[in-house]
Each structure stands twice: as structure tokens, then as C-alpha cells.
Structure 1
């Protein structure tokens, strides 16, 4: 994958991560929140965070060179 593609994908993942955070907060604060849905969204958010971390580490140049 080209670096530009990785950067673009990384930004899309960050946006989705932020959006999920807002949705989760809204559901938690609402009176009729669905705990199962919140848990699924939190798991998705965690997977996104892991993907973001992995992509960020790929963009950092290898210092052993």
C-alpha cells in the first residue's frame, strides 16, 4: 500500500473512531440506551483504535537503518 493511501485510510479510521465515540456518548446519556448496542460499538471502537495504532507504526520509519 502506498504511503498516501495509508495516510488517507488512517484519517478515515480516525473520523470513524471519533464518530463512534459521539454515538456511544449519546446512547449512554439517553434515557433508553441499549447496553448490547453500546458494547458492540465499544468493541468496534477498540478495533479501530488498534488498526489506527498499527497503521501509525507502519508510517514511522525504521530507526535500525
Structure 2
């Protein structure tokens, strides 16, 4: 069974990822006004999805295992 980092470290990392996720929202909104940056917008959206997946995985690590 893998050793999990302490819960406070997980909470801190989740907060950092959420902040980056919000920042990408703002960048994507600015790029939406300029259709010439479509490739950059796609790259940012892909990164945003990666962050969402990472946040979900970390949040799952915080859920205690239920006994069988």
C-alpha cells in the first residue's frame, strides 16, 4: 500500500492547483476575444483539464478507506 502525504500537504497542493485553474480561466477568457490565439487557448484548456484531474485525484486521497 502506497504511503500518502499528510492531509495538510494534500490540502495545500489542492489549493495551489485550484488557484492555477482559476488563473487559466482568466487567460482563456482573454484569449477568447482574439481568435488568432486559438492554438494557445486549446493548450490552456488542456492544461486546465489536467489540473482538474489532478485535483480530483488528490481529493480522493483525502477520503478515508472504508473497511471491507
TM > 0.5 between the two? yes
Aligned residues: 64
- Normalised by the size of structure 2, how large is the TM-score? 0.84
Pairwise CA RMSD of aligned residues? Answer: 1.4
Q: Which consecutive unaligned segments of at least 5 residues does structure 2 have?
A: none
1:62 equivalent to 2:65? Answer yes
2:22 corresponds in structure 1 to 18
Normalised by the length of structure 1, the TM-score is 0.88
* Structure 1: unaligned runs, 5 residues or longer: none
Residue 3 (str. 1) matches residue 7 (str. 2): yes
What is aligned with 1:51?
A: 54
